[in-house]
Amino acid sequence: MEPETTQKLIELALAARKWAYVPYSNYAVGAALLTDSGKIYDGVNIENAAYPDTICAERVAIFKAASEGERHFKAIAVVSSNGGFPCGSCRQVMAEFGLDTEVIIADENGRVIHETTVNGLLPGAFTPEMLFKDRE
């Protein structure tokens, strides 16, 4: 991916962080997802007093895109104060839509901490194809 595109995704994820609802952890995360159609969807983490009902920024961005018919993604930037990596649930949701999606992890200064793919984050992922493997 072109450096300008990477930078744009990081900047959008940084900007989205201000909308995070994090009254318990104070750990704001922003995400920016680039689809194959060229559209970008942002997301933030949203906490809840019933902790299991909290949702991560990555899944918010992906669900926003999916709810508008997008199914193929090129890249996602994830920005937090310290460049934290996506959780296991987010990795699984990303795998649902493609193991080749680029993942850019950056800190609150926009510094890239790590670049990989979904496959790099979740080797041996359980994918939709697994559901039909024995049916053929």
Its pTM stands at: 0.94
**Pairing of the two strands 73-79 and 30-35:** antiparallel
Tokens of 66: 């999916």
- Active-site pick, 4, 47, 58, 108: 58
| 3-state secondary structure at position 112 | strand
Q: Give the per-residue pLDDT at 61.
A: 98
Over the stretch 72-97, which tens digit does the pLDDT of each residue have? 999 999 999 999 999 999 999 999 99
Active site residue 70: no
Over the stretch 18-31, which tens digit does the pLDDT of each residue have? 999 999 999 999 99
Average pLDDT over residues 111-121: 98
CA neighbours closer than 13 Å in the CB half-sphere of residue 98:
18
Q: Give the per-residue pLDDT at 131.
A: 86
Q: Give the per-residue pLDDT at 82.
A: 98
Does position 134 have pLDDT exceeding 70, yes or no? Answer: no
Q: Give the per-residue pLDDT at 1.
A: 86
Domain 3-135 adopts which CATH fold? Cytidine Deaminase; domain 2 (3.40.140)
Average pLDDT over residues 35-44: 98
Q: What is the percent of the chain where pLDDT is above 90?
A: 91
Over the stretch 54-75, which tens digit does the pLDDT of each residue have? 999 999 999 999 999 999 999 9
Cα(25)–Cα(39) distance, integer angstroms: 30
Q: Give the per-residue pLDDT at 128.
A: 87
* Burial (CB count <10 Å: 0-12, 13-18, 19+), residue 3: exposed
What are the domain boundaries of the chain?
3-135
